[in-house]
Amino acid sequence: MFELVVATNNAHKVKEYQEMFSGYDIKFYSMKDLGIVCNPEENGKTYEENSLIKASALAKLTKLPVIADDSGLNVVALNNFPGIYSSRYADSYGGNKVANLELIKKLKPYEDKSAFFACLITLMNVEEKPVQFKGICRGKILDKPVGEGGFGYDPIFYSEEAKIAFGEASPEIKNKYSHRAKAVSQLIEYLKNKRLIELVNEK
Ligand code: IMP
C-alpha cells in the first residue's frame, strides 16, 4: 500500500483525495493524522511557488511521500485576480457569499467575463526533485450566483466543458471537469507509470 501525506489539516480534503483515488492501493493521511505541525508562510507569487513552499516544508518533517496543492480562480479581464489570493480575497469579505457579489461588481465594466480555475499539486519525497501537476478548468463568471452546490467561487462560475455552472453541478460532474480532478488524474498517471500504485478494485 502506497502511503502519502497531504499538506493539510483538513480531513475533508484528505477524504476527497482518497475518493479520487478510489480503487487504487493508496492511503492518504492528513498532517494531523501523523501529529505533524507545519504551517509555512505562503508568500510565493504563483500557484507553483506556493504549492512548492507547502510541500517542501512538509517533506522535511516526514520520510513519506507528500503532496501539497494550491488552487484558485483567475479572472482574465482582472489580470487573473484573485488568483493565488482567492482564499484571502474571500476572507476579506467574511466569506464567499459577499466576495462573489463583489467580484461580479468589479467585473461589470468589462465585456470579457472569461475565467479559469487552476490547481497545482506538488509531489515530493518520491524523486530527488519535486514533481508538479497542473489542472485548468475554463469558463466564465456569471452575472449572478446560482445553485446550492460546491463551495467557494462555484456559484459564479460557468464551466465551458461541463456546460453547467459549478454551483448547479452534481459532485460527479464537478469531479470530472474540475481543475483539481485534472491535476489529480495526471498524478494518478504518474504514480501508475512509476509502478507505485495500481488499480486493485474496479469501480
Ligand atoms: P486552496 O488552495 O485549495 O485552499 O483554494 C484556495 C481558494 O480558491 C479556496 O478557498 C476557494 O475560494 C478557491 N477555490 C479553489 N478551488 C475551488 C473550487 O473548486 N471551487 C470554488 N472555489 C475554489
Asked if 31 and 58 count as a contact pair (C-beta separation under 8 A), the reply is yes
Catalytic residue among 70, 91, 143, 154: 70
For the entire predicted model, the pTM comes to 0.93
Distance 58 CA to ligand 1 centre (A): 21
Neighbours of 198 (CB within 10 A): 12
In tens, the pLDDT along 138-172 reads 999 999 999 987 789 999 999 999 999 999 999 88
Nearest atom within ligand 1 for CA of residue 70: 2
Say how many Å lie between the CA of residue 188 and the centre of ligand 1. 21
Q: What is the pLDDT of residues 29-76, one digit of tens each?
A: 999 999 999 999 999 999 999 999 999 999 999 999 999 999 999 999
pLDDT at 202 over 90: no
Pocket test for ligand 1, best of 8, 17, 71 (most atoms within 8 A of CB): 71
25 belongs to the catalytic site: no
Dihedral Cα 182, 186, 189, 192, nearest 10 deg = -110
Q: Whose CA is nearest to atom 9 of ligand 1?
A: 87
Instruction: Write out residues with Cβ below 6 Å of ligand 1.
Output: 69-73, 86-87, 90, 117, 150-154, 178
Q: Which residue has the cell 501537476?
A: 133
Strand-pairing partners, residue 157, are: 141
| Residue written as grid cell 515530493 | 124
- Domain CATH number, residue 155: 3.90.950.10
User: What number does the ligand 1 atom closest to the CA of 137 have?
Assistant: 19
Phi, psi of 62 (to 5 degrees): -150, 155
Domain that holds residue 144: 2-202
**pLDDT of 154:** 94
Domain count along the chain: 1
